[in-house]
Every structure is written in C-alpha cells, then in structure tokens.
Amino acid sequence: MELQTPPALEPGTLRIIPLGGLGEIGRNMTVFEIDNQILIVDCGVLFPEETQPGVDLILPDLSYLEDKLDRIVGVVLTHGHEDHIGGVPYLLGMKKDLPLLGSTLTLALVEAKLKEHRITPFTLLVKEGQKEQVGPFALEFIAVNHSIPDALAVVIRSRAGVVLATGDFKMDQLPLDGRLTDLRAFARLGEEGLDLFMADSTNADVPGFTPLERDIGPVIESVIAKTPGKVVVASFSSHVHRVQQVIDAAVANRRNVAFVGRSMVRNMAIAQELGFLKVPDNVIVDLKKVSDLPDHKIVLMSTGSQGEPMAVLARLANRDHQISIGEGDTVLLASSLIPGNENAVYRVIDGLVRIGANVVHKGNAKVHVSGHAAAGELLYCYNILKPKNAMPIHGEYRHLDANAKLAIKTGVPAERTLIAEDGAVVDLRDGVAQIVGKVQCGMLYVDGKTVGKITEEDLKDRMILAAEGFISIFAVIDKNTGKVLEGPEIRARAYAEDDHVFDDILPAIEKAMALAAAEGIRDTYAFQQVIRRTIGGWVAKAHRRKPMIIPIVVASEGKS
C-alpha cells in the first residue's frame, strides 16, 4: 500500500521519522517530535557503492529538517562510528548551535571531525545511568556493549510513552573493556513498562549469540607470530577494541606498531589520550620511521578494510604507497564486509595476493566478530523488556523482517510490530504505535564540496558513460533554410571502435536532417532530437550499445 502524507501531529502524540538506516546499513538517523519540539538520535553516513560513481558520502535526507531547525532541542549520538556520527558536520552546517549529547569518546571523535569543518559545537557530556531533561524529552542513558567503547542506548520518555532506542549493541559477556550491556537497566525498564522498543537489526537473521571479542586476540597473535615479514592489519578507523588486540599481539611478538591513514592516526590518538586505548611506552612509531625497522619488527594498522579505492589497503595493492608489500608479508582484514562492498574488497585481496602477500580474512580465519546482537541476544532483550510495540532499526529489509519475527515470537502483537522504511511516519499515542504516512526521503549525495546537487539522474548518466561510452555529433545549419552548412561531425569516447565506423551512418543523418528542413523545422533542439534518434537506433542495432549521445546543432546566418 502506498503511504500518504501524514496527518497533522496531534498534541501529546510522539512522532518518529527515520531519515536513514532502515533498509540499508548506514546513515542512521531518527527524528522524534512531540509538542512542536524535535529530538534527533544519530546522524551518520553511508558509503557509496559501485553504482554511485564519483560520490564520496551519502547522508540522511536532511531536507525534512530545513524549516524545523529552530525546533530541534538536541542531537543524541549513541556511539562514535561513522554510520552514526559522520553526517553531523552537514547537519550542523545547517545550524551550528544544535546541542550534541554523547559519551566521552563519542563527543571527542565528533569534535575532531567538526574541527576539520571549522565548527565548534555545543556539547553535553553524558554517561550511563545519567538522566537529562531536553525540552519535552526526559532522556536516560544505558551502557551497551559494541565494537567501539563508550556506546550508549537511550531511553526517551515523553507524555506519549516510553521508547528505548538501542543504537548498535550486542551482549558480549566477557567484553575487552569490562563494560557489559546493562541488562539490569533493561529489566527495570521492562518492569516500568516499555511502549516502543527500537532495536538494532543488523544481525537479527544470524542464529544464536555473537562470538566473544576476546576470542579474536589469540588468532591475531598467531598470524603475527607466523609472519616472517611485515604485517598489515586493516580495520575500521574507529574500532578501538580491535586496534587494542593488534597492539597487544604486536607487543607479545616484540613488534612496533605504526598507524596508517589519516582517520586511523586521528582516532587512535584520541582513544589513547582518553584512556580507551592502552599502549605501552615505545610501541607506537611514526610511519616515517618504519623504513628504519626490519620487516619482522613492524605491524601496520591501517584503514581500507572495505576496499575503498583511495584508502591505504587499495593503494598498497596497487603499489601506490610509500610502504611496499610482497613475499613474506601478511595482510589481515580484521573486519566484516559491509553489504555492497564485496566486489571492491575481493579486488583488493586479489591485488595483494598477486604481489605475493599472504591475505588473512574472515573467510579463511576467525579474525573478526560482529559488533551487533544476533537473534539469541535480541530474543533475550524482548523477553526482558516485554515491549508493547516494536520497530526494528539499523539494517537492510531482510534484517528488519527477521527482527520483527523475533518480536512476534516473544509475544509482541503482529499489528504492533512495525517494519518501517526511511521516511515512514510512526505515531505513538496511548501505548499504540502505528505507521500513519510517509515524508519525502531520498539519498543526499556528497560529491566533493557539493551536497545534495547530485541526483539519481546524474548517477545514471555516469553509469552510462562508464559502461556504454559517449558520442558527440556537431553540425551547423542555416537558420533560415535549415540546410546543413557544416558537419555532421562525429566523435566518440570510451567506445571500442574508431570514429571511422560512423561513416556508414553519416548519410542517414544528413538525409534525416534534410527531410526535417524540408518539413519546415528550423529549431536547433528539434534537429538535435532528429540526430539522436537516427544515430541511437543505428548504434543499438549495429553495435548493441546504448552510449550517451550529445548532439550539438548551431544555427548560422549562412553564407551571403
């Protein structure tokens, strides 16, 4: 059923609108609105796929907020991963004084990011157990375990009811930092009465429980111990726990560690300064000094685990980096694959193997565990919380669907289990949540310094250029008679054949233009359409191609 424009928001009703993160892995952002006041939870980015050439980042659709900025009372950031904080600079670019609420590490990471955008934010530091009144929203923060330290779930109380948004979380019972997901707080919330549970869905279709993070440490140490040369470990630049394991393994094997990649250097410096990363003295070395050390004494901790073309790992595979990789060296990909990145990652792996490196990844060794709760953990939470309504968040549609089925199995009524997508409008009132409509919600593309000016049509054109090539046809006509004075002249780019293959179609173009002139056509645009139809049909039939065709027709006074 096609969703309609939602009705006006009634007093005392909490309206919830996901602007990103539902139906995809990334750009998580949810708007909560009641009594004309707005609270935002997270503002992340999504990284582009191969079908989005030239795009740097994809943001939540911020256009919904353009005329509501003065009504925003706060932005809660659940943790410091890019898919939850990466869009904050663009949101604050719309209104710089929006209050940011988050934990110590989360705010430190986002402040460093904002510094690059020359924005000094207004922040409120919060921690687990803390309660804050922000406009009509009574907030409570709960510790949750994730693949980055200092993650928080948030309880949002309003006169419409009680909502729990988990952010990203799992229930590792032996976490590296000793910080457990606070199930006692969950239990208290369940006893109080929870109206809506918004739970991370990323691993909802994975049975059982997520393996322990600490099981990865011995595997990493073994890989390093067996490598005679350099070791390069690629991971997300904010995965502090994984970096800690790499440092511990390097120390055990009497190796130094160098951080590679701007975001890795920045984030680990922040984590170390705040005490979230424990590094013995004299272990970290500057990348510039790596060449002074023997290969068996170095571990490089880099970015690029998702195959990003300009990240460190891809440049190593292309031999386009100051560090060289070859025989005797090992590259360890200590991360999972974000859906859509598989081809790019395997290309990088192939490139590394081709130059002689031993590549260790999740497919051939246990070098990564997820940071997200699997089905068993979610069932546990549903049974503790006993929510009246459930709205799965953070995941592709299959993940949302799997999460919803778990909710129903534990007793949440099917009609109160909402599988929403980006732009859906959910109203919570009197303990009942329902989807009441939809707002416009598309992709907001960042391309260089431009934001939102790239459209789906532009991306389609870029894909055509990449796959089918480009043909331009230039002609000059007499604006009085329509007679062709010069041309048509054809040039092709990214096309397998030489330009002379178009000699066969030139007479047909000339004939079509002459016929158009005889019919009284003088408009240059009409002539361009005649050329496009003529050559387009011929190329499709003769060469089975659909290139971008750009006819240029100029009208002239003709020769006297």
pLDDT tens sequence across 129-186: 999 999 999 999 999 999 999 999 999 999 999 999 999 999 999 998 999 999 999 9
Closest by Cα among 129, 84, 80, 83 to 109: 80
Are residues 180 and 44 part of one domain?
yes
The angle, 0 to 180 degrees and rounded to 10, between the axes of the packed helices 524-543 and 506-518 is 150
The CATH number given to whatever domain includes residue 349 is 3.40.50.10710
3 part of a folded domain: no
pLDDT at 560: 45
Domain boundary among 448, 474, 504: 448
Residue 248 parent element (H or E): helix 240-252
Strands 137-143 and 152-158: antiparallel
Rounded CA separation 139/133 (Å): 6
> Smallest Cα–Cα separation from 375: which of 342, 401, 413, 337?
401
Q: What is the pLDDT of residue 453?
A: 54
Strands 470-478 and 484-493: antiparallel
Low-confidence ranges of the chain (pLDDT < 50): 307, 560
Q: Which range marks the domain in which residue 293 is found?
A: 213-360
- 421 CB neighbour count, 10 Å cutoff: 15
Same domain, 252 and 238: yes
Among residues 336, 420, 434, 330, which one has the least CA distance to residue 388? 434
Residues 179 and 31 in one domain: yes
CATH classification at residue 401: 3.60.15.10
Select from 430, 448, 466 the last residue of a domain.
448
Please state the domain count of the chain: 3
Same domain, 23 and 58: yes
Buried b (16+ CB within 10 A) or exposed e, 147-180: bbbbbbbbbbbbebbbbbbbbbbbbbeebbeebe
pLDDT at 326: 85
36/179 same-domain check: yes
DSSP state, residue 118: T
| Domain co-membership, 40 together with 160 | yes
Cα–Cα distances in Å, from 237 out to 43, 241, 312, 334?
18, 11, 11, 11
pLDDT score, position 116 = 87
Distance CA 518, CA 526 (A): 13
Say how far apart CA 499 and CA 114 lie, in whole Å: 50
2 assigned to some structural domain: no
Structural domain includes residue 57: yes
Yes or no: say if 45 and 129 are a contact pair by the CB < 8 Å rule: no
In this structure, the answer to whether residues 218 and 151 fall within a common structural domain is no
Q: Residues 92, 170: one domain?
A: yes
Question: Residue 355 domain-assigned?
Answer: yes
Q: What pLDDT is attached to residue 495?
A: 61
- Are residues 234 and 150 part of one domain? no
Task: Give pLDDT tens digits for 422-474.
Answer: 999 999 999 999 999 999 888 777 665 666 555 566 556 555 555 566 778 88
**Does a structural domain hold residue 8?**
no
pLDDT at 49: 58
Are 164 and 219 found together in one domain? no
Around 479, how many Cα atoms within 13 Å sit in the side-chain half-sphere?
Answer: 6
Find where tokens 């440490």 sit.
Answer: 217
Do 347 and 246 belong to one domain? yes
Query: Any bridge partners for residue 425, and if so which?
Result: 437
Residue 173 lies in a domain: yes
**Is residue 6 domain-resident?**
no
Residues 6+ apart with CB under 8 A from 485: 476, 477, 478, 556, 558, 559
Q: Which of 316, 340, 360 is where one domain is finished?
A: 360
In a domain, 179, yes or no: yes
- Here the tokens at position 558 are 């003709």
- What CATH code is carried by the domain that includes residue 552? 3.10.20.580
How far is Cα 352 from Cα 331, in angstroms, rounded to an integer? 8
Looking at the structure, do residues 75 and 96 belong to the same domain, yes or no?
yes
Other C-beta atoms lying within 10 Å of the C-beta of residue 5 = 10
Identity of the residue numbered 90: Y
